[in-house]
Amino acid sequence: MPSEFKHIVRLAGQDLDGTKRVVYALTKIRGVNIRLADAIVRKIQVPPDKRLGFLSESEIRRIEEAIVNISSYDIPRWLFNRRKDLESGKDLHLITSDLELRRKEDIEREQAMKSWRGYRHSYGLKVRGQKTRTTGRKGRVVGVRKRRR
């Protein structure tokens, strides 16, 4: 057990709070949710109720290795955030800036092929079939005008 407590732990290019429990601290990494964090911690056999600041350097390195190379560990594929990638056809899990860049590329691809979703994205409208009569109003005011007497 390490002799000193680390208040800030650098993991996967992100500064994490050392006072939080390991599973909850890992959720601050973009692309890692609580279920994935729990699966990773259980696979590499780190106590999930331990505080992140009390982990040793070897445990932190194991966690980072597991997050970066998640497909080499025996974690269920349904936890991944990019299944059946268009370019490679493989199940991937993207984190941090890779996730944001791939999302932008997907939106640009849909706009370029002029799909309905691409059209909705380019006009700033709701994409997933939500109603837009009363919600999703950005910018100018849309409402009922009062009648002048």
- Domain with 126 in it: 95-130
Total number of domains in the chain? 2
pTM: 0.76
In-domain check, residue 110: yes
Residue 143's pLDDT is 65
Residues 6+ apart with CB under 8 A from 29: 11, 12, 14, 16, 67, 95, 96
Tell me which H or E stretch contains 96. Answer: helix 96-112
Cβ(19)–Cβ(51) under 8 Å? yes
Q: How far apart are CA 66 and CA 28, in angstroms?
A: 16
What average pLDDT does this structure show over 73-93?
88
Task: Say if 2 falls within a structural domain.
Answer: no
Contact (Cβ atoms closer than 8 angstroms) between residue 21 and residue 91? no
Task: Quote the pLDDT of residue 4.
Answer: 85
Strand partners, 16: 9
CATH code of residue 74: 1.10.8.50
Residues 32 and 69 in one domain: yes
pLDDT band at 45 (very low <50, low <70, confident <90, very high): very high
| Final residue of a structural domain among 46, 79, 112 | 79
Q: Say if 74 falls within a structural domain.
A: yes
Average pLDDT, the chain: 88
**Position 126 in a domain:** yes
Task: Please indicate, yes or no, if residue 70 is contained in any of the structural domains.
Answer: yes
Assess if residue 135 is contained within a domain. Answer: no
